[in-house]
Structure 1
Amino acid sequence: MGLFNATYRLSEQIDTDVVEGERLARHTSYRIGGPAALYITCHSYHALRRTMEVLLREEVPWVVLGKGSNVLVSDGGYDGAVVTLGREFSRFAFAEDGLTVTAGAGAMLPRLVNEVYTRSLSGLEFAVGIPGTVGGAVSMNAGSATEWIGALVRDVVTYKPGEGIRHYAHDDIAWSYRTTSLPHDEVVLEATIELAPAPKADIRERMERLLTRRRRTQPIGSATCGSIFKNPPDARAGALIEGCGLKGFSVGGAEVSSVHANFIVNKGTARAQDVLEVIRHVHGKVKEAHGIELQTEVKFLGF
């Protein structure tokens, strides 16, 4: 693995910021995670393409990270390159019809939600209060228990390292609960989303109602990665966990939230290993009590 060569070559590139040994705890909502061998921010498509060419040639493993809102990073970090998308990937462009928006993968989802609200466009209300980037939301089909961003996506543009840009229409992608069929070795560049006009007061009322509910039922403001487990068919993971009496269960600085049992909170001193041990304990107790194998929703990096 040519980390030294990759670092040397990438440090000379324009529109590319390269940091060695960057602690990933600074870049995750969990505030947990050891260093990445390389932390690379690409501010343009050409910078991304050149970066990927170098990483492939030097055989450096890589992963794309948005805002780290759905990931648990190992205490030992990641012995490869963490790639993030910068300036050029953070833009919005509205079509002439006024109902369609193309958003860069690096754009913040909360910013997009607010932008379409100001234009009296409905459809993304369910995403209010959901952190992360557009690219991350699309790749995991983020949403609520009943609505998902995939239902609004008209097409997606990705980049496959070594091959180039690829285009996917909505029906080219299998949209499932918290997952899609988009290839894991491709980088989402942008997504085009179709919305509908609606009175701004109606949009605001629904957003406020959903946000109030989230604040009441989720540990907003705490260091978490969102929901830990996917909801199994015909059940709610949080209810199953709570039914096992696991609210408040803790290992080290990691604790099952007293607000919502499907959230594990970093109380300030949690290590990734603490969170893993809580996940394993919860998984085992739910299986023992209900015979259900909970599937994790959180992504793991560096394990």
Structure 2
Amino acid sequence: MMHGQALIDRLGDRLAGLRGRLTPNAEMDKITWFRAGGLAEVLFQPADEEDLAAFLRAVPEEIPLTVVGVGSNLLVRDGGIPGFVIRLSAKGFGQIERTATGGINAGAAAPDKRLAAFALEEGIGGFHFYHGIPGAVGGALVMNAGANGVETRERVVELRGLTRKGEITTFLAEDMDYSYRHSAVPAGVIFTSAVFEGYPEEKAAIKVAMEAVQNHRETVQPIREKTGGSTFKNPEGTSAWKEIDKAGCRGLMIGGAQMSPMHCNFMINTGTATGYDLEYLGETVRTRVLENSGIRLQWEIKRIGNFRPGHAVQEFLGQLL
């Protein structure tokens, strides 16, 4: 991986005129909620959609681009991330406002919790579940984020983004082929905002629903730990935590990484975990669940970047592929 400043210098005049911030060798452990992982070769935080479009047009397509959000369900490998990492700022992409037709237009960097709070203020029902999701709108659009029995696909109507060439593109919700923690977002598209619709509801009822979501999180999830949220997707017909528990992995530790004793589908950094520790623990859990129940757990946490030389982690530890 080239030094970050060398990549910026290589592109030279192509990047002239950008209003956003370019940070070479950015420390991703300061961004991710796991507080672990290597460097981004260059981190770019665009000023707004127009600035992002100019950046995309300027960067040759052979240079890797990786988009990250608030870092809540992100595991960065210790070898770092080559090319540019794009992180949308709340200032440029965090707007939330009513539409002319009574819906909600939300920027991709707006926190899910703020979208829920806005809906409460406006008396719009159906958004209480976002109060319990520690991410931002962009991630919710890509992965069809959901909680408490509601998913993003039930609220989103239209999505707006930029292609890898910097062209504005829009999608209707039905274009996204949404399913559990999945969407058919085309490769290279970066969502910048979306329109959502709910329904009129009394604020008192919305507040009760949001409080129930919060109480559930505080009661059963280790929300005060360095965690990435749910580690694995729920397999069909069962829950990931049940299979992890049956395989004897509640509280399992590798290095500074641990499967939470409180909720064993939550992986936590106890203080000294590396990206390697966390991913090796996850693959150990997948291996033991496969051996115990024949179920192949699928990662819900997004893992990005390169392994450090000599510290690669194979799926299912390479034993049961």
Q: Deviations over 1:14-48 (max 9, x none)?
A: 42101100110111111112111100000112210
Q: Deviations over 1:135-175 (max 9, x none)?
A: 11111100116210111111101210226111111211101
Match of 2:50 in 1: 46
**CA deviation map 1:236-263 (0-9, x unaligned):** 0001101222111101110010111101
Aligned to 2:59: 55
2:311 maps to what in 1? none
- The counterpart of 2:68, out of the listed 59, 65, 69, is 65
8 Å Cα contact 1:55-1:62 kept in structure 2: no
Change (3 A) 1:210 1:78: same
- The answer to whether the 8 Å contact 1:6/1:54 transfers is no
* 2:311 is the alignment partner of 1:295: no
Is the 1:38–1:82 Cα contact (8 Å) retained in structure 2? yes
Residue in structure 1 matched with residue 215 of structure 2 by the alignment: 212
- Asked if residue 191 in structure 1 is aligned to residue 194 in structure 2, the reply is yes
SS of 2:169's equivalent?
strand
Q: Which whole-Å CA distance do the structure 1 matches of 2:159 and 2:178 have between them?
A: 12
Which residue is 2:175 aligned to?
172
**Superposition deviation, residue 280 in structure 1:** 1.2
SS state at 2:227 partner: coil
- Evaluate the alpha carbon distance shift between residue 145 and residue 84 of structure 1 in structure 2; reply closer, same or farther with a 3 A threshold: same
TM-score, L = length of structure 1: 0.95
Contact 1:254/1:266, CA 8 A, preserved across alignment = yes
Q: Specify which of 22, 26, 30 is matched with residue 22 of structure 1.
A: 26
Match of 1:229 in 2: 232
Once residues 7 and 111 of structure 1 are traced to their aligned partners in structure 2, the CA distance between those partners, rounded to angstroms, is: 37
Other structure's SS at 1:50 match: helix
Change (3 A) 1:48 1:202: same
Say if 2:65 and 2:85, in contact at 8 Å, map to a contact too. yes
What secondary structure sits across from 1:136 in the alignment?
helix
CA root-mean-square deviation: 1.6
Shift of 1:7: 5.7
Q: State the partner residue of 1:131.
A: 134
2:265 aligned residue (262, 267, 286) = 262
Instruction: Say which of 84, 87, 94 aligns to 1:90.
Output: 94
- Contact 1:27–1:68 (8 Å) recurs in 2: yes
| Structure 2: gaps of 5 or more residues | 307-321
Map 1:242-253 → 2, pairs under 5 A: 242-253=245-256
**SS of equivalent residue, structure 1 residue 25:** helix
Q: Distance in 2 between matches of 1:145 and 1:108?
A: 18
**Which of 32, 35, 43 is matched with 1:31 structurally?**
35
1:111 aligned to 2:118? no
Partners of 1:217 and 1:90 in 2: how far apart? 30
Instruction: Note closer, same or farther for the CA distance 1:163–1:82 as it changes in structure 2 (3 Å cut).
Output: closer
Structure 1 unmatched runs, 5+:
none
Provide, for residues 256-285 of structure 1, a one-character-per-residue CA deviation record: whole Å limited to 9, x for no partner.
101111011000110010011111111011
For 1:145 and 1:234, the matched residues in 2 are separated by 17
- CA positional deviation for 1:216: 0.8
Name the TM-score, length of structure 2 as normaliser. 0.90
- Misfit runs of 4+, over 3 Å: 4-12
The one-letter code sitting in structure 1 at the alignment partner of 2:131 is: V
Name the residue aligned to 2:318. Answer: none
Query: 1:197-217 CA deviation, whole Å, 9 max, x = no partner?
Result: 111111111111121011111
Provide, for residues 73-102 of structure 1, a one-character-per-residue CA deviation record: whole Å limited to 9, x for no partner.
01121111101112231112212343x011
Q: Is the 8 A contact 1:30 1:72 kept in 2?
A: yes
In the TM superposition, what is the alpha-carbon distance from 1:11 to its structure 2 partner?
5.8
Q: Are the aligned partners of 2:94 and 2:107 in contact in 1 as well (CA < 8 Å)?
A: yes
